[in-house]
Every structure is written in structure tokens, then in C-alpha cells.
Structure 1
Amino acid sequence: ISPQLRRLPGVTEINSFGGFVKQYHVIPDPALLIKYGISLREILDALQANNSNAGGSFIERDWEQINVVSKGLVQSIPDIENIVLKAEGGTPVYLKDVAQIQIGHQTRNGIVTKDGKGEAVIGMVIMLKGSNSKHVVDRVRAEIPQIQKSLPPGVKISPFYDRTSLIQACIRTVSTALGQGVLFIILVLFIVLWDIRAAIAVAISLPTTAAIAFLMMGWQGITGNLMSLGGLVIAIGMIVDGSIVVIENIARHMREKADSDASRIPIAFEALREVAKPVIFAILIIVVVFIPLFTLESMEGKMFKPLALTICFALIGSLVATLTIVPVLGSMMVKRVTIKDRENFLVRLIHRFYMPVLTTAVRARWITVVIAAALMVGAFSVLPRIGTEFLPPLNEGAIAINVVRLPTASIKGSALQATEIEKRLLAKFPEIETVVTKTGRAEIAEDPMGPEQNDFFVMLKPNYESQFGRSSEEIVQEINRELAAFPGIRPAFSQPIALRVNELISGIKSDVAVKIFGDDMEVLRATAEKMAPILSEIEGAGDVKIEQISGFSQIEIQMNRHALARHKINIEDINLLIRTAVGGGIATTVYEGQKRFDVQVRFPLEKRSDIDVIEQMLVQSPSGYNVPLGELVTIEEVKVPAQISREDSTRRLIVECNVRGRDMGSFVAEAKQRLASIENSMPEGYRFTWGGQFENQQRAMARLKMVVPAAILLVFLMLFSSLNSFKSALLILVNLPFALVGGILAIYFLNIHLSVAASVGFIALLGVAVENGLVLVSFFDQLRAQGKKVYDAVIEACRLRVRPLVMTTLTTLAGLVPMLYATGSGSEIQKPLVAVIFGGLISALCLTLVILPVLYIIFNRDKIVTED
């Protein structure tokens, strides 16, 4: 199976796990070796010397050249049996005279069991880096029926885990939200514009923008996935902002000049010229705001860079459409209505409620500022009560259980117990579709698991939650209770992808880990044993365990150098005996067609089973007599560390746990407080740090704290360049904290944790707030440049710009609504981001329409005095 799958494009390896690998076994009888005076080295040398081909160059005969080859490879058991070891009195001693030759299997390090029915063999298809996972899986699925035809009766290929199923489910979730968002945006456009032709003019810019975005995504090699399509969901409302501002301004100019003879095209381009500069700068500023995401590293960088790139590409596409297609469509499709048809009912309603509020706020501007500041302080005061985490957990529709036993557990015993656990799970939980368990490690060890460990992959049925009424968290709790009936095991729960990603990034399979560093393993162990009970007492702690380092037994053979010297025996002779007779030495290889199999030399099991038997092994001296091994060495069974882990060239021991029903940030904060006394009492040269997902969260947040201020400084420079006013640019930045109020309150009331995803939402929110502020402040300055007083310019600008600002906010909100209420796979990652933007847009609108005009007047109060 493996060779046929390995040749497929995009497949780099098939990692086989379970079953047996064929091997030729040469099993010498120690008594016969003594009888004939034959050593193990002679058997190894004879096998190597009697299994080879050789080339003899060629001979020339007349006009021909003929190659000469000697053929001496063994091809069967009789060939091995008839290898001559020596001659006794002219009579040859064959290998079969002193050893039994048979077909066996390699000593295996891994076993796979399935559904409580015993052993199975699995092949893990490993994808070539940079390949498209869907394309690779499609090729593998298409090839399987062809391979199945060539297999013996009763052997069936049955795929049990396909990561593209989750990928497709996530893409369906985000694609559905994207489609619904487009429909909602078009509906909002029609309602607010109250002009089907103007709404169509804006809507036509959507496919143009999407086409440009997709072309640029293809250019950068970005595929359609959860994050890139999620970026389009977020951007879909933003990309019509510029078009709305242009169309609305064209419509206003058309209304104002409805009775004139001016041509439609000059009117449209005059309207475009009026708003082009703020629109261009507003869109470019949003692009700049996303620069911090390009600096993210590791997992968060791989996730959010495609999202940021897609949003930037979509915004660039929208800018192209706004400056080219939309003005042309506007000149052709926007009506030149009369004065009496100026505003539709909704816009008049907005003006009726907004203008009195604005007038009151401007007159009582200091009270307005105090109220706004109080709201901001109130919102920021709830931040400490909002939980923090790296990323929201993605529901994979499967559960991964890592089970650990004592280090001395055998692989056979671990596999038998795994089969019993599988039976119990399938009998007790109707939500479970299948259970596949890996014990130990594969042939190509992609995971350093010992025989004492199992990885259970528990596949849940589709729609299990709605069908059986239990969430995956509840199922995990019940499984944990069931596993308590099996003594001597320590289970830890995760999900298949999450388990591997955690291990890949930080080397730890759990959510949180305390890494203890120092030189003495006993000190590390004692410290860990103090920490584990403390962590277990903290609310939310689950699967608390100490990295297993003790309890491993080892038979040690110490050389007696005086005895070895007396018998003139080398240490290598002893090592060869132990390495071959006990461990099994590979002497040569048998080739069968394109396959090759090792030939192993090893004593029979009963002659190497314990210390007493090993001591009776005979070692041949150079003088020809045999010496029992026990006279040359000291053999004892000792306890040694099961493993010694190192990090940064220092010994390390881990206490790890998962966090359930609580945010990671507050859990680690409490754990730090509880472990402070241990940290203060640690010996000199010993320390501990925090790892796992918390480490990822800290790294990502530290990076954003460093880069976001730099991006804001760049935004300020762009604002100054656009407005040619230090004061106006500073005014827009001063208002940014007010825009965050809605985002903070949204995640607080929706009980969403502050994660990297939510932080990305706040970054996007800053861009939207700057965009709205720039559109309004630039119009303030424009009207003042035309000779209007500060107060009059503010009131007039707000009256004229309330419609496009409300429209742009409503369209963006409409585009986000489907994802905000989505429940499918992948929505967990997008929801914090969307919630922050959704809540922030509402507060940003209030900021732009009420607080910004008030602060503009306050910032220009010296000019108001002069005017008065």
C-alpha cells in the first residue's frame, strides 16, 4: 500500500504503525556453540561473508562485450541453513547444525488497536510542506479503491481520520456567513439609499473587489481557508465604505443640481474629487493598521497573516473600484431628483433624532466629554474581569486521550488494556463512532512515546450534540469518570489537532506547563511533587501530572577488568555477546524482489530471560576455553530515570495540566500566586518558567504591544499628511480609546475571553475608527476653508455626513451579523474577532457623530473666540 500512495504528488511519506515487519531469525543454541567451539562473531562473519554479489567487469568475444557477475545472495531459509561455519576433521559444520533459522518479525515499538476488536495496521499519510491538503487527500482517496483491488481477500482499507473533513466544515461555515453577509449588505444599501439604482451601483463594486482580492491571494499563494475567507467576511462591509461615500456624495450633488443644466459626468467627478483624498487615506490607513499582524510569529502568525493579507487585498481592490468603476456607475445610475425628493424616510428619521442630540452635545460640550470619559473609564474598568487565553478552542468533532502508565509497562500489556478501554467507551457512549488507539511509537517515530503510553483517537458522530444532547466537554468529563475504573493510568484530554499543535510548538501536550530547571533530578522531582497538589486545588485544573522520570528498571552489566585481563578477553567481546545474544544483532539482509528483510542473530528466549540465565552465558577466551559471563562481570537490576529532558542545555522537569471551564490567563495568574512560596524557596541555580499555550499567548501579546504603537505612530503621520494639521490628526487619535469601549463591552457581556483573535478585532476597530474620523474631520476643515465658522462647519458637516457614516457602519455590521451568530466549525476562532468589531463599530459611530464634533470645537476654541 505504502509505495503506491507514496508516489502521489504532495505525499512525502507513509508512516506505518502497528502489525509486524518480517525478519529472518537465526537462533543459535548456546550448548551447540560450545560443542563445536563456535562463537557468535563467527556466525555474524559467516552470514556477512556468504551473502553478496560481485562484478567481474566484462570479457570481449569477437564483436561482443559480455559482463561478468557472480551471484551469491541468499534467497531462502535453506540458503542460510547451508552456510558453512567451519570444518571439523574435514566435515563441514553448517549454520543449521548450531542454530534454528525461521521467519519471525522485528521487535516492535508500536501497536494499533481499533474499536475493541484487536489489532489493526494504520498508515499516516504525511503531506509535503507547501502542498494543498485538500488536493493531496483527494488524490489519496481516489487511489484507495485501485489499491483495494490488489489486496488479499479479507484485507480492507478503511480511512478513519481525515483532517480535510474539519477543513471543509470550517470553510462551509465561513462561506455561508460570507454569502449571507453580501445579501444583508445589499439589503441595507437599498433601505438606506432608498434608490435601487444607487444600491446596484455600490453592489457592483463587490464582485470587482472580490476578483482583485482573489487575484492577489493567488499571487501570494494564499488558499481559501478558514482564516483567509474569514478575512473577507470581516472586510466585506468595509470594502463598500468608500463606494458608499462616493455614491452618497454624487447623489447629494445630483440633488443639489437637479434643476441645473450641468452634465452628469462632470457632477459625478466633482463629487469624487471632493471626497477622493479622505477616502484614499482612510482605506490606506486601515491597511497600515493591519501591519502589526504581519509581525506575528509561530502559530499565531501562520493563522492571522493570511487574514490580514486578505483584508488588505480586499481594501486595495475596493480602492481601485471606488476610484474607477463607482464614479462611472454613479454618473449613469444615480437619479437627479428634485428638492422635494431629497431624503428618504429613514434618513429624515435619522436627522430628526440626531441633530437635536448633536446640538445639545455641542452646547453642553464639557458635560458630553465627562459622560464620554465616564463611559470609557467604566468600560476599561471591566478589562481585569475579562478572561484571557491564546486562542479559543476549535471544536474538531473528536477527542484525543493520552494515557500514561508506569515506565515499566510492556507494550503488549498496554495494548491489551487499550482494547478493554475501547470496548468500554463504545458501550457507554452512543456519541462515539469509532476509537483507534496508538500504543508506543511508529516505525518512523514522529512522536517519542514509550510502550507505557496510549493515544486514543475518539471520533464522534456528526451532529452528536444535537442528537444526544451532550457537549464534548460533558463527554470528556464522563469518559474521565469511566477511566477511573482502570488502575494505574493517568489520562489527559485534548483534541487530535490541538494535541499535536501544542506538542509541535512548545513540546508539551497540555494547555499549561510549569518548566522546572536545574542540575539535580531529585531536586527537580521533589519540587514538582510540591507543585502538583497545589495546581490540582486551583479551580479549572484538569489532568495535572508530573513528567514521568522515575520508576524505570534496567539491568546493568559492570565489567570486572581484572577478570577480563586474566582471561585475555576484550570488553568488545562482552559487548558483542550482550548486543547480539540478548538484544539481537543484525548480521545481513535478504532481498526478495524489491523488498529487503533483516537477518537477526539472537539467543532463544529462555536463554536470555533473566539475570541468572545471562550470568550463565559462556564467553570464549583467545585460548579456546569458555568462561561463564558471571565470572567476568557484575549484573544487577537498578532503578534509573525513564528519561532526562533538556531545554536550553539545562535539565528540565515539567508539571503540566489542562484548563477546563476557566480562562487560561486567570488560571495562570492564580497559579503564579500559589506557587510564589515555592519559587522563593528554590535552591540557587534552580528556577521555573511557564510554557504551553500560555507561552504562546505571552509571546503574541508582547509582540503586539511592541508593534501596535509603532503602527499608530505611522497612522498619525498619514493623518497629518492628509489633513495638513497636527491638531486635527491628534484629535482623531485622541478619540481612539472611545472607539474601543464597544468592543470591550461586547466581549464582556458575551462572555468571550480576550485572545489573540479578539486583539486582532481591536486592531481592525482602530482602523475603522480612524477612517470614520478622517472622513468627518476632513469635511470640517474643508467647510472652514470655504469660510464657515467652526460651529457652523461642524453642524453642517455632521448633517451632510451622517448619512454616509451611518450607511458605512450599517453595511459593515450587516456583513458581520452572520458570522456573529454562526455555530458551525471554525466559528469559535472568528467569533471573538467579529464580536469586538461589531460592538466597537457601534461605539465608534457614536464617537464619530457626537464626541468627535464636540472635541473638534474644544480643540478649536481659540478660533471660536476670534470668530465671536
Structure 2
Amino acid sequence: MTPEGIEQLRLGAAGEVGQVAIRDIARVSRDEAEQPSQVIRHNGTAAFTLGVSALTNRNVVEVGSAVAARLETLKADLPDSVEITPIYEQHVVVDEAVSSFLLSLAMSVAIVVGALMITMGWRAGLVVGTTLGLTVFVTLFFMSVFGIAMERISLGALIIAMGMLVDNAIVITEGMVIGMARGKSAIKAAAETESSTSIPLLGATVIGIMAFSGIGLSPDSTGEFLFSLFAVITISLLMSWILAVTVTPYLGMLLLKAPKKNTSDDPYKGAFYAIYRGLLWLVLRARVLVVLVIVGITIVSVMAFGQVKQAFFPASNTPLFYVEFQMPQGTDINVTDREMKRLEQLILSEDKVTDVTTLVGRGASRFMLTYNPEQADASYGQLIVRVADAEAIPAMANRLNRDLPAEFPNALVRVEELVFGPPSGADVAVRFSGPDPVVLRQLADDALRIYEAAGTITNPRTNWRQREILVEPIVDESRMRLAGATRSAIADTVRYGTSGLRVGELREGDEVIPIHLRLPATERDGVDRVRDLSAWSDGAGTYVPMANLVERFEPRLVEALIHRRNRERTITALGGARADLTADEAFKSVRAEIEALPRPDGYSMEWGGQYESSTDAQTSLGKQLPLGFLVMLTISILMFNKVRQPLILWLVVPMSVTGMVLGLLFTGLPFTFTALLGFLSLSGMLMKNAIVLVEEIDVQRAEGVADYKAVIDGSVSRLRPVVLAAGTTIFGMIPLLPDAFFASMAVTIMGGLAFASVLTLVAVPVLYALLFRIRPPKEESTDSKTGTASG
């Protein structure tokens, strides 16, 4: 059936002469919907979008490549002027990210192995480097077995764990080198080193894993987003211990050789060890002062932490950004589309913009985890903008946020950058809940005034938006009943005189095309026209003038969007952070005033936005931390079967905050959620190094070495493993510095571990001497300062 065929249909009773054809009283045409539910354009040309999602057990890169190949073959069958253009290709993004991270991983391995060869010699460095390479390959194998995909988080976890992966192998190799330097055979040196260090290293490894357990056990969206980090670190650290106690001794027997010198020579001679021995001689005599200084530095660092910028997740380095456009609520979609055409031309004229996808009426299909599509709304529009260089986005966004509001005074326009991590909705958001919409509007307006007065909030708005104008027919009930008409008939007449009354449908294959009956466009231009129409009366069997049924058409303002939270009316006042501020700084600038707003009884207030997302993530993490720390504490106590040694380990953990604060302040990076994970991992790294040192002191004391000498010699014997472990971890973080997601975590670990290494080498011996009441001998020979190590 065609429009022409419909026009040929005749109306009237069968067989009667008075039948008329539809074409005699109406015109039938096939047109686009006057009020489309959504309008989509790409670079100014009409388009429709198609989204393809991979199954959870399939490789995104393979699926994306297969889809791209299939689309390429379909191009030949497309009509002229029809093109297929990708808006977002996740498989390309993932492939580039994985390739970049594999390169970073290779660089990290090369840096670590190179540093080990320079400091330990090429043979020892080759032993540790080979163990490290095996650990990485075995970890990748188990990632495949357990279905852990290679992506930014999982591969980043390998780089984060890089320094920790070599710790176990360094300790084993160092023990073998020292044993062989003292004249022992390679087999004996390997056996003794493995038997004396394997259990302490296992305990230290498990403690290192449990430092990351909070994120692994967190049930919220952030925990889901970062779970692979915990999984990969768990696998890699366990593999590093297994390979260190099995493969490393074997490789050591094959590659390591005893030095060609007198076996009675002290392996801890040299300026490096002499300087450290002299430092220990000084700090052990001023141990109370040293502890007070370290505690003072820690307190100052905690206070200085308030100067560090705070953020939830950093901005993404994907070369996309959004332009959000909102006309007054109730605006016709065609009016919104007309303004969006002007906006898209302005954006397309920008130098570094390559593609612009325009969406009017609602957002796009969800194409990435961090994209939060807008619900259907005729007054809403969005541009998805692709640029040639992601580094140009911040400056462009700042300029557009400043200039666009003047170009579109009747609309709310804002530019939003993509961020890593789950979406938080807005930088700053406060919710008011209660029964009366009028009171809620007043509270939200008060919050918006505070936003504007502060000068730190951009694009203040509410999620209820503006009230809409509703034209309501006031029906005369008695006259309607007398005329035999119904409200349904009046509603049909109103639809016929405005948007059109659906009277049928046309089927073309699988497609259903609605048929609407309506007045010509020139007669659908106001309420007065509707008042002149007639409504059908079943009782009278004829049409009755609307004027006999409707007293008047009354315009009034109504709430078009009423949001509820926990079944209670809730309005949210939203805003963005000024370009030179973080979301946390913008939030703090208005928090006190908004919390001081008076609220009637029965009305509540709570914060949303990035503050809520960050707080929820940290709260969820905090709920899991006690379990992780309990396991860490239990292991540390079981390892020593005493209390004072574990106490030493836990006393030095908070002191690592100094290096973290210095690193973040120096680089200007914010303290993000990933930086928090980095700080938590520091506790595991620091305790792992401290365990090895404390264990060595205990061993020497158990072998009969004098207590003071055991503290000195035990610390000196662990100097190189601790320095190497910290150094390799720090250098292994270098490839992560350019990455926006991991930069703050890398700086946190690098700065924290640099200072934590000093704590391990200075604070641990001092605390050990204090807790065990070990004092220097009253009379010391020269050897007390520069003497030999034993054990």
C-alpha cells in the first residue's frame, strides 16, 4: 500500500451512492515525523548509529577487527553518498593502549635488569633478570588461564609490581653471592640462602599482596573497575616467590662465580658500606633524637598533605570530549535541533577538531564504561567531538566553556572532558529531599546562588530543570455529560488539531509506519484553532463544538521532571569546577555555606557528585582494609612469634607519607584514588624490606653475635638488597609517568619508597635497639665503627 493507494480508498456504507474517496477530502503524504524522538548527524550530515558489543568472554580487539572488516565489505553494497564512519572504536583504543603498555612493560624490565647488572654485576644481574622475565611470562600465562584481559589496568599492575617482583630474587642472589665470597660452594650457598630466607620472603610476599587486598575485595564499581590490578599483583608476586626459591638458586649455581680473592676478606668492605656503618654508629647513639625527628617530619608531612590537590580519577587521554547542550525544559526538538546545527558548525570550525557527532533528543548508546547517556528529552543535545591531539582538549574546553554561553544565551552549554574511572555525574552536586516540590526548588535555588557567589563553580543548574508550560482544557462536566461526549473524545480532538491522531498503521515488511490524521499545518497554529473544532459524541451520534464542552484552555507551569531517590522527591543542584581548580577545591569552597542552609522539618540534604563517588569508593575500600591489615598483622606476628619485631614493622609504615607528599607537591599532581592505592601498596613494600632486615638481625643474635654488633652487621648485610629493591621499584615506575591514569600512583610509589628506604635502613635499626634496649658498648675499638660483619 502506498500513499496514492490510500487516497483511492472510499468512505461510506457499502453500496451507497454517497461514498467519497479520501483524496476528495484529504491529502495523504509520507513524510518524516514532525516530532522525531532523536536526531543524529555526523559532521553535519544526517546519520544513524549502530553499536556492537563484544561478549564478556571474547577478545575486544578481535571482535572489533572482525566488525571493521565486515563493514568494509558492506561498503560496496551501499547506495551512493552513504558512508560508514566510526565514532568510537574501542578495539583500536584497546590495541593502542595494550601496545603502549607492552612497550612500557618492556622498558620497565629493561630498566630494572640494566640497573641490577650495573649494581650487582652482569652475572648476578642476569640471574635476577632471568627470574624477572620468567615471572612476567608465567603471570601472563595465568592471566590467560583465569580470563584476565590484557588492558590498561592489568598491564599497569605488572609495571607497578615490577620492583617487588625482583625483591625475592635479589635476596636469594645476594645471599648466594655473599656465601660464595666466603668460600662456600655454589650448591651450599644456594641451599643455606634458600632455607634461611624462603619463609620470611613468603611472609613478606603475602603481606605485599594483602596491601592491595582492599581494592580486590571492594564490592563497588571502583573495585570492579580496578579488580584486575589486585588479581595480577597477586599472581605475579606469588610467582616471583615460587621462582625465586626454585629457579633462582639453580640459575645462581650455573652463572655465579666466587670472586678471585682471599676468602677471609670481608664482602661488606668498601666506601658504600663504610658510610652506612658510620651513619648507624651515629644514629644508634642519638636514637631518641632520631625517632623524635622522624616523628616530627611525619607530623609535618601529614599537615602538608592538606596542600596536595585532591581528585577522584584523572582526565582521560582519549582524544574525545563532549559538549552538553540544554535548552529550556519543554523546548520543541526542532527548535533544539536548529540551535544544535549552529553549535556543531562552530565546533567544526575549530582547528584541531576532526569529527563531530551531533545527538538531539537523547544521548548516544553507551559505548564505554565512563559514558553516562542522557535520557530522552526534546530540549537536550550533545556533541561528541574528536580532536587530532588529546593534549589540546583542556585549553579548548576552557575557552569553549568561556565563550559558548554568550553565543547561546537561551541555553545551558558546557564542555565535559572524559575521565578514567566510573562516572560521577558532576564535579559538585548537592541533593535536597522532601515532600513539597516548591520548597525543594527554593532550597536548590539557594544552593545555586551560593555556587554563583563563590565564583568557583561553572554551569550551575538543577536536574529538575525548568518548569514546562502546560495548556489544560477545563472541561464543563455537566455539559459534557448532557452532550453525550467523553474526555477521551475531547483528547482525540485535541490531538487531531495539534500533533495528529493515530488512526492506523502501514506495514512494509518488518517495519510499521504509523498513520496520523491531522489538520493542515496552517490550521495547527494555536489554542484558538483547537477551540473551533468539534468532538465526537457517542450519545448524540454527531459532532459537538468544543466550545460547548470546554470552558477554557488554561496555561500553567508544571514540574516536568521530578526525580525521586529512595521513593522521596529529590532535587540536585549541580555544577562544574572552574578550569584552574580541582573538583575537591570547588567542593570545599561552597561546602560550609550550603551545609549551613536552613531546612524545614522533613527535608534532608546530602552531597553527591565527585565527592560522593570518591567517598563511597574510599568507604568501600576502608571496609575491606581491616581484613587485609589483620592478615598482614597476623603474618608478621606468626613470622617472628613475638610482638616487638612486628611492632617495629608497623611503626615505620606511617612514616612513608613524607616521600609521597613531597613527590605530589613537587610534580603538582593530585592525590587520586589510584594514588591512594599506591600509598597502600607502600606499606607492603616497606614491610617487606623491613622484614628481611629484622629477620637478619634476629638470626645473627641467635647465632651468638653480640646484640649491638648484630644490629650493625645485620643492617649492613641487608643494605644492598634493600637499596636494590627500592631502586628497581622506583626506576621501574618511570614508564608509567607519562600515563595520565597511573602518573599520580607512580609518583606516590617513587617518592614514598625513596623516603621509606631511608626509614628501613635508619629507623628500623634504631627502633630495634630501642625496643630491645640494646646500647652501644661503653668502650669501643676502631672496629666498632668500621669493623667487620659476621653471620
TM-score (norm 1): 0.83
Checking the alignment, whether the CA contact within 8 Å between 1:268 and 1:327 is kept in structure 2 is yes
**Is 1:158 aligned with 2:158?**
no
Give the superposition deviation at 1:213: 1.3
Give the superposition deviation at 1:431: 1.9
Give the superposition deviation at 1:558: 3.0
Match of 1:517 in 2: 433
**Gaps spanning 5+ residues in structure 1: where?**
1-73, 466-470
Superposed CA deviations along residues 261-288 of structure 1, whole A, max 9, x for unmatched, are x5x3233122211111111111111112
Match of 2:316 among 379, 388, 394: 394
Superposed CA deviations along residues 565-611 of structure 1, whole A, max 9, x for unmatched, are 11122333333434556443444443333444333333433444321
Match of 1:732 among 649, 653, 656: 649
| Pairing of 1:600-615 with structure 2 (within 5 A) | 600-615=516-531
Give the superposition deviation at 1:867: 15
Checking the alignment, whether the CA contact within 8 Å between 2:268 and 2:716 is kept in structure 1 is no
**Is 1:439 aligned with 2:439?**
no
Match of 1:691 among 608, 611, 630: 608
Match of 1:227 among 115, 129, 153: 153
| Pairing of 1:57-456 with structure 2 (within 5 A) | 77-78=4-5, 81-82=8-9, 85-87=12-14, 89=16, 92-106=19-33, 107-115=35-43, 118-128=44-54, 130=56, 131-194=58-121, 196-257=122-183, 262=185, 264-340=186-262, 348-427=270-349, 429-441=350-362, 447-456=374-383
Match of 2:785 in 1: none
SS in 2 for 1:436: strand
SS in 2 for 1:553: strand
Give the residue type in structure 2 aligned to 1:398.
L
Checking the alignment, whether the CA contact within 8 Å between 2:356 and 2:383 is kept in structure 1 is yes
Q: Distance in 1 between matches of 2:571 and 2:360?
A: 23
SS in 2 for 1:666: helix
Closer, same or farther: CA 139–493 of 1 in aligned 2, 3 Å: same
Match of 2:768 in 1: 856
SS in 2 for 1:636: strand
Give the superposition deviation at 1:443: 10
Checking the alignment, whether the CA contact within 8 Å between 2:208 and 2:681 is kept in structure 1 is yes
Checking the alignment, whether the CA contact within 8 Å between 1:396 and 1:495 is kept in structure 2 is no
Checking the alignment, whether the CA contact within 8 Å between 1:75 and 1:591 is kept in structure 2 is no
Q: Distance in 2 between matches of 1:604 and 1:346?
A: 99
Match of 2:786 in 1: none
Checking the alignment, whether the CA contact within 8 Å between 2:182 and 2:267 is kept in structure 1 is no
Match of 1:648 among 557, 561, 566: 566
Superposed CA deviations along residues 269-308 of structure 1, whole A, max 9, x for unmatched, are 2221111111111111111221111233444213321111
Superposed CA deviations along residues 312-350 of structure 1, whole A, max 9, x for unmatched, are 111111112112111111111110224459999998332
**Gaps spanning 5+ residues in structure 2: where?**
367-372, 781-791
Superposed CA deviations along residues 498-544 of structure 1, whole A, max 9, x for unmatched, are 7x953xxx5x3x22211122222222222222221321233542222
Match of 2:696 among 776, 779, 784: 779
Checking the alignment, whether the CA contact within 8 Å between 2:501 and 2:518 is kept in structure 1 is yes
Checking the alignment, whether the CA contact within 8 Å between 2:220 and 2:620 is kept in structure 1 is no
**Is 1:666 aligned with 2:585?**
yes
Give the residue type in structure 2 aligned to 1:144.
L
Q: Distance in 2 between matches of 1:598 and 1:574?
A: 21
* Number of equivalences: 768
Checking the alignment, whether the CA contact within 8 Å between 1:86 and 1:94 is kept in structure 2 is no
Match of 1:835 among 734, 744, 747: 747
| Pairing of 1:439-478 with structure 2 (within 5 A) | 439-441=360-362, 447-462=374-389, 465=391, 471-478=392-399
SS in 2 for 1:354: helix
Closer, same or farther: CA 89–594 of 1 in aligned 2, 3 Å: closer
Checking the alignment, whether the CA contact within 8 Å between 1:581 and 1:601 is kept in structure 2 is no
Checking the alignment, whether the CA contact within 8 Å between 2:283 and 2:290 is kept in structure 1 is yes
Give the superposition deviation at 1:860: 0.6
Give the superposition deviation at 1:708: 2.3
Superposed CA deviations along residues 667-687 of structure 1, whole A, max 9, x for unmatched, are 322311122332xx2211222
Q: Distance in 1 between matches of 2:684 and 2:696?
A: 19
Give the superposition deviation at 1:637: 2.5
SS in 1 for 2:740: helix
Checking the alignment, whether the CA contact within 8 Å between 1:550 and 1:640 is kept in structure 2 is no
Give the residue type in structure 2 aligned to 1:570.
T
| Pairing of 1:577-592 with structure 2 (within 5 A) | 577-579=493-495, 582-592=498-508
Checking the alignment, whether the CA contact within 8 Å between 1:789 and 1:867 is kept in structure 2 is no
Closer, same or farther: CA 443–723 of 1 in aligned 2, 3 Å: closer
Q: Distance in 2 between matches of 1:209 and 1:647?
A: 49
Match of 1:537 in 2: 453
Give the residue type in structure 2 aligned to 1:311.
I
Q: Distance in 1 between matches of 2:333 and 2:90?
A: 28
Q: Distance in 2 between matches of 1:192 and 1:496?
A: 43
**Is 1:723 aligned with 2:645?**
no
Q: Distance in 1 between matches of 2:458 and 2:376?
A: 21
Q: Distance in 1 between matches of 2:364 and 2:628?
A: 49
Q: Distance in 1 between matches of 2:606 and 2:348?
A: 40
Checking the alignment, whether the CA contact within 8 Å between 1:213 and 1:317 is kept in structure 2 is yes
Q: Distance in 2 between matches of 1:576 and 1:414?
A: 27
What is the aligned-residue RMSD (CA, Å)? 2.8
Closer, same or farther: CA 177–348 of 1 in aligned 2, 3 Å: farther
Give the residue type in structure 1 aligned to 2:397.
V
Q: Distance in 1 between matches of 2:726 and 2:365?
A: 55
Q: Distance in 2 between matches of 1:555 and 1:217?
A: 62
SS in 2 for 1:514: strand
Match of 1:675 in 2: 594
Superposed CA deviations along residues 41-78 of structure 1, whole A, max 9, x for unmatched, are xxxxxxxxxxxxxxxxxxxxxxxxxxxxxxxxx57752
Q: Distance in 2 between matches of 1:415 and 1:635?
A: 29
Checking the alignment, whether the CA contact within 8 Å between 1:389 and 1:694 is kept in structure 2 is no
Closer, same or farther: CA 647–787 of 1 in aligned 2, 3 Å: same
Q: Distance in 2 between matches of 1:442 and 1:392?
A: 23
The answer to which of 667-676 and 168-177 deviates more is 168-177
Q: Distance in 2 between matches of 1:782 and 1:592?
A: 87
Checking the alignment, whether the CA contact within 8 Å between 1:210 and 1:314 is kept in structure 2 is yes
Q: Distance in 1 between matches of 2:200 and 2:268?
A: 26
Give the superposition deviation at 1:797: 0.8
Give the superposition deviation at 1:718: 0.2
Percent sequence identity is: 23
Closer, same or farther: CA 88–630 of 1 in aligned 2, 3 Å: farther
Q: Distance in 2 between matches of 1:496 and 1:96?
A: 55
SS in 1 for 2:750: helix
Superposed CA deviations along residues 434-474 of structure 1, whole A, max 9, x for unmatched, are 32221212798963242222212222113x75xxxxx4222
Give the superposition deviation at 1:201: 1.4
Match of 2:533 in 1: 617
Q: Distance in 1 between matches of 2:418 and 2:198?
A: 51
Which has the larger strand fraction?
A: 1
Give the residue type in structure 1 aligned to 2:565.
E
Closer, same or farther: CA 651–725 of 1 in aligned 2, 3 Å: same
